Chain A
Amino acid sequence: MAVLFIIPALIFVTLFMYYPIVQTFIYSFFSLHRTADWLNAQFVGLQNYIAVMKSEAFRGAFGFTLYYTVMTVAFELAIGLGMAIATFSVHPRLRGILRAVLVVPWAIPPIVSAMLWRWLFHADAGIFGYLLMATGLVSRPPAFLTDPTLAVHSIIVASVWKNASMMGILLLAGLASIPQDIYDAAKVDGARTWFRFRRVTLPLLLPTILVTVLFRSLWALRMFEESYGLTGGGPGTTTDTLSTFAYKYFFTYARFGVGSAYAMVIFLMVVMVAIVYVNRVKGNLRFKE
């Protein structure tokens, strides 16, 4: 009888998760343009995958996405941790309000926040250009979104702003789950603030950090809106992201074969990242009862 209760979940998982993956995998070996009828299409072996690997644009997007992921996740972690600790150290009643304030940037839809940041980076109306001019560091506002290096980092800044707070909220929950007695024990044991943080708080928070970083990394690897909204992938192809490829090949170009190959490559990458993290997390979760 218990099996009956699993059926809905089983159907759901099969229908919405595994079936599309299998379908994409099959498509990736066929030449499919404007049709998804793979039974009548030409089998091309690994040709689609070769096209993916040869694509310079893909390699560029790969590099950017990876850099973006590492940078945003690192900064978000540092800032989020700071926010979490600052919030945790205030009175519990104030904590609730702070938590609500923290969640605001994250609650803004990505496209809206991209528009917001477009204005902040705007040469004429943007606050950053104005501030830099006011300090006299620059004679004219920097090209935040059109200089290749600046554009990459502008997107990172906007993403960090948006997601650090969520990181903070999750880490705050992690901090709150550490028993107060352990902090007290460390205090009484003669540990000063930094020593306590380094030797007690941080290691105990590590499982939360790893899980948070895992989810955020997987999310960042699939980043699309920030880049699309802020730079449209420009200047040139500097801020093109991995996830746009599969989308474009599927929906704009209607090339399902190559699109599927892109999707599979990205899928495998994400799976690998997940496996590495999960193994790491598992090892670190062991001391939790």
Chain B
Amino acid sequence: MKARSIFRMILAGLLILAVLTACAPATPQVVEKVVEKPVVQTVVVTKEVPVEKKVVETVVVPEKRTQLSFAGHQYFNMSFGPAPAPLEYMRQVVAEKYPNIDIQLIMQPLDANKWHDNLTTYWMAKDPTVDLLYVVGYWITEFAEAGWLMPLDDKVDPALLAKYDPAYLDIFRHNGKLVALGPAWGGIGGLYYRKDLLEKYGLKPPETYDDIIAACDTIRKDNPDLGCWDWPAMRNVVLVNRWSEFLHGFGGTYFNKDGTCAMNSPEAVNALEFMTMLFKKGYTPQEALSWKEEDANVRFVSGQTIFFTGRQDLLFWIDDPAKSKIVGKWGFIPNPAQPGGRHAGFPEFWAFAVSAYSDNPEEALKVLELWGSLPTMKNFNLAWGPIQGHSDVYTDPDVLKANPNLPLIEEIAKTAIPPLPSANYGEITDLLQAQIHSALSGQISPKQALDDACAAIDVIEKGP
């Protein structure tokens, strides 16, 4: 009988344990290494030896070390230019200045959606695993609103902040508070065109969307097999980025002043109708609806199309004859805008931030400052290419030598539009992806798509 009751107690205990364990959050599986925060101390042990001698043993415990974990993707281990891989360099500068701090990479998936979900999973459980992280501009509102990122304004050296382009820093502000420092690297959308073809037909680089259509009509009369305008329109995050450019190019905005959805304004409907027309009339091939960025890139550099909207990182290899058939035959300009609209490039600007749940906020801030200073930023430029927020990067002779296209990029970077400012960015853009893609594939009318989207977005934004 006694044995049975003991058994019952054990069983009950195990069940409680089981329940408690299950309450713990699911941790993303991509952790490179288990991050440990050792309790560090130096201990002198004095041992009493009862015989003749008294021996003093000094146990040398390794000096106090702090491990900081950094959430980044696999590109941090890669360099595409004349510089070490960023993570290697970032570790190096930390080791030089703060020899007691170790940097641990928590590997994140390349798919930004999954990366986002990993981070939010940590934070919703108030998990301190991540100290430092690499964040993209369009996550800022959501993360800052939830209080997951540490405000930086009065914590980072003002002299360093002053070096950063305020327009760029605005992307990392929420309600006026800076929550990330950067960009350390940024992508921005612009319009690539075939300079040789436009020149041949005496055409100027397009200013408006109508210019593009006109140019295509002229050039394709003689070259019916040539594509007009390619851009990646698969239903994913990038689609909303590209659409934002059209939206602003036609004079639309995301929200009205009162915070209600403005994405079904007449301008916005015009924009989406124009986009839909591109597919309907064959200016953009229907297959583009299943294209990721790399699919569209390949089409342009293999000379199959006249115009292409994409990020500036194509410049890195567009003149590499091994990969490109259009060496020297291209131009890169800001996206077009209709009268009343603005030339808009969607920024995918990535910056460094400190998690609000970090166990070592001071050390993390020190490292953040170090990574935000010129040497590291310069290394980013040389390893990955532009865009960096630190203005001294652009006067550095090494950088100028390595980036012959820098002026072009600076021109386009000026067209950066803010990402959709919502704490529900993920949910809203997901909705927009579906609605826009439905319209582009001709399943519903553009107006209908945007009206439905706005109705749903207003509900999401209003909250319960």
Contact = CB atoms under 8 A, between A and B. Distances in A.
B430 A252 contact: yes
Nearest to B426: A252
A96 interface: no
Nearest to A57: B434
B117 A251 contact: yes
A232 B11 CA distance: 46
Scoring B116, B289, B463 by chain A CB atoms within 10 A of each residue's CB, the highest score goes to B289
B41 interface: no
B287 A145 contact: yes
A105 interface: no
A235 B116 CA distance: 24
Interface string A213-244: 00000000000000000111111111010000
Given A146-B290, A252-B117, A11 B434 contact: no
B108 to A, nearest CB: 14
Given A232-B235, A236-B437, A123 B287 contact: yes
B438 A143 contact: no
A146 B289 contact: yes
A211 B147 CA distance: 50
B443 A236 contact: yes
A19 B18 contact: yes
Contact of A33 (B289, B295, B464): B464
A184 interface: no
A9 interface: no
A263 to B, nearest CB: 14
Given A7-B14, A252-B427, A236 B441 contact: yes
B322 interface: no
Contacts of B121: 251
A174 interface: no
A234 B14 contact: no
A254 B290 CA distance: 27
Task: Indicate the size class of the contact surface on chain B.
Answer: 35 or more
A35 B439 CA distance: 34
B208 interface: no
Interface string B209-253: 000000000000000000000000011100000000000000000
A64 B285 CA distance: 25
Task: Indicate the size class of the contact surface on chain A.
Answer: 35 or more
A101 interface: no
B299 A234 contact: no
Contact of A123 (B11, B285, B464): B285
Interface string B356-368: 0000000000000
B14 A146 contact: no
A235 B437 contact: yes
A11 B18 contact: yes
B18 to A, nearest CB: 4
Contacts of A3: 7
A234 B289 contact: yes
A234 B285 contact: no
A232 B232 CA distance: 12
B113 interface: yes
B286 interface: yes
Contacts of A123: 285, 287
A145 B437 CA distance: 13
A118 to B, nearest CB: 7
Contacts of B463: 33
Contacts of B120: 34, 251, 254
A148 B442 CA distance: 10
A23 B285 CA distance: 47
B287 A146 contact: yes
Interface of B: 7, 11, 14-15, 18-19, 21-22, 113, 116-117, 120-121, 124, 146, 234-236, 285-290, 295, 299, 304, 424, 426-427, 430, 434, 437-441, 443-444, 463-464
Interface of A: 3, 7, 11, 14-16, 19-20, 23, 31, 33-36, 42, 57, 118, 121-124, 141, 143, 145-148, 151, 230-238, 240, 248, 251-255
Q: Which 6 A-B pairs have the closest CB atoms?
A: A236-B438, A235-B441, A145-B290, A251-B117, A234-B235, A146-B289
5 contacts: A123-B285, A151-B290, A235-B438, A235-B443, A253-B426
Given A143-B289, A236-B434, A254-B124, 17 more contacts: A15-B18, A33-B463, A34-B120, A36-B124, A122-B295, A124-B304, A141-B287, A143-B286, A146-B288, A151-B290, A232-B234, A232-B290, A236-B439, A251-B117, A252-B113, A252-B117, A252-B430
